[in-house]
Amino acid sequence: MIFFGIDPGTAVTGYGVIKSVNNSVTWLDSGVINTRPDSPLAERLELIYSSLKKKMGEFSPDRVSIEEAFYGKNIHTTLVLGHARGAAMLAAVKSGAMVSEYSPREVKKAVSGNGNASKDQVKYMVKMILSVPETNMKTDAFDALGLALCDFYHTGRSVQINR
C-alpha cells in the first residue's frame, strides 16, 4: 500500500511517500515544492497542484494525507494556506486515492507518542522509523513523511492492497 503525505504551504509544500508491506513501512521519496514569493497566488497554486499531480502519477498512492489548517493569529495566512490545501486536495482526489486529514497534534502523537513533540523530535523519529537517507531535506518534507506515517498507523495496518 502506498501512502502519500502532504504538508501544504504557498511558499513551500512538503511531500513524502512511503510503502507498507506486511505491517512494515519503507521510505520511497520525499521533498518540497518551492514557489516564488513574487509570483501571483494563482500561479503558485497551479505549480503546487501540477507538481503534486505529477508525483502522485509517479507513485499511484492508495491513500493521501494532508495536514489540517493551522489557525494562527493571522487570518490572512490561514486563508492563503487554505488555498494551498485546496490545490493539494484536488491533486489527491484526481489521483483516485482515499484522502484523509490530520492535525499537527495527531501527527506528532502518532510518530513520537507525544502530541506536544517538537519538530526536531518528529524529524528524528521519522528518520529512525523510515531510515530516510541523509540529505539536506527540509522540515516540510519530514512533516509530510510524518503525515504519511500517521495515516499508516491509523488505517494501513487494517487495510492491505497488493501492489
Selecting among 106, 140, 143, 151, the annotated active-site residue is 140
Q: Count of CB atoms within 10 A of residue 31's CB?
A: 18
What is the rounded distance in angstroms from the CA atom of residue 27 to the CA atom of residue 152?
12
* Known catalytic residue at 38: no
* Known catalytic residue at 140: yes
Cell of 129: 522509523
* Known catalytic residue at 67: yes
- 90 contacts 55 by C-beta, under 8 angstroms: no
What is the rounded distance in angstroms from the CA atom of residue 118 to the CA atom of residue 110?
13
Selecting among 67, 106, 143, 151, the annotated active-site residue is 67
Selecting among 7, 62, 143, 151, the annotated active-site residue is 7
CA-wise closest residue to 123 among 23, 2, 7: 7
Any idea which residues carry the catalytic annotation? 7, 67, 140
